[in-house]
Chain A
Amino acid sequence: MTEDVAEETPKENYFLLWLTAVVIFAAIAAIYLYVPTDKTEGPVQRIMYFHIPSAWLSFFAFFVVFLCSILFLWKKDREWDIYAHASAEIGVIFCSLVLITGPIWARPIWGAWWVWDARLTSTLILWLIYVAYLMLRSQTAPGSMRARYAAVLGIAGFLDIPLIHFSVLWWRAFHPQPKVITSEGFGKGLDTSMMMTLLISLAAFTLLYFVLMGQRVRQEKLRDEIDRIKKEKLYSH
């Protein structure tokens, strides 16, 4: 069992790692060499190809937290708790990148780093919820109680995501309207080359999520294995 966890890693993930690296390079090439410069915003508009995929990745990661938390509460299986924890950490990292790249893009376009717009505020709330989720996990003793509290917070936090998506439609906002999923159809809000570049970038970030998840889940399993051996050793004396 010990050896299984330690040897489970990289070899089988090499393919995913290389594929991710290739798609990331393709995305960077498309962003800087293929897609035309936006007439209104200029080169700074290219931030969109990092900003939207970071947002997509964080939403996807929090969806995995939501799903795994439900499965944990239902099945009481530690495996689901591990996936939820790993995904929450990745989600927070990329949500932080959304909150950093957004203001950098906003400054030259809106003339302000931050406005208390519905989408920006609800995204900040999402980030705070999952930072609280990680703090809850790090500040309480390991066990089923911690996992249960975290699962409840993981499920409740996800309810903010539909609010973020619809906020620009429900309220007057500074933030642009959705460009990918629009009322006229998928990708109707963007030029074909821009949409292609965005899709490559979305694919790169999605693959990156699976690479990071693989590493993060393995880490939790190694930690569990160490704890198990320590406990066994303690009881054997």
Chain B
Amino acid sequence: MDNLSFLFAANAFVWAGVIYYLFTLKKRNVSLERDLQLLKEVIEKESKQ
């Protein structure tokens, strides 16, 4: 590995880590929003019955 490859590796780790974390946050948020929406729909259905 030459000097430049180490720089590339460090750079790749940092941005891959940040992007992966952002992606998992987004995924978790979407899943929680869906759960909340489902719950609201169930409650609404029950209140109509």
Contacts and interface: CB of A to CB of B under 8 A. Distances in A.
Interface in A203-237: 208, 212, 215-216, 218-219, 222-223, 225-226, 229-230, 233
Interface residues of A, number: 34
Given A222-B29, A233-B43, A97 B17 contact: yes
Interface stretch (A39-47, A74-82, A158-166, A169-177): A39-47
B39 A104 contact: no
Given A46-B7, A107-B6, A225-B36, A100 B13 contact: yes
Contact of B36 (A43, A46, A108, A222): A222
A47 B35 contact: no
A105 B17 contact: no
Given A212-B22, A219-B25, A50 B10 contact: yes
Contacts of B36: 2, 5-6, 222, 225-226, 229
Given A43-B4, A44-B7, A212 B25 contact: yes
Interface of B: 1, 3-4, 6-7, 9-11, 13-14, 17-18, 21-22, 25-26, 28-29, 32-33, 35-37, 39-40, 43
18 contacts: A9-B29, A42-B3, A43-B3, A43-B7, A44-B7, A50-B10, A51-B10, A97-B14, A100-B13, A104-B9, A218-B29, A219-B25, A222-B29, A226-B35, A229-B36, A229-B43, A230-B39, A233-B39
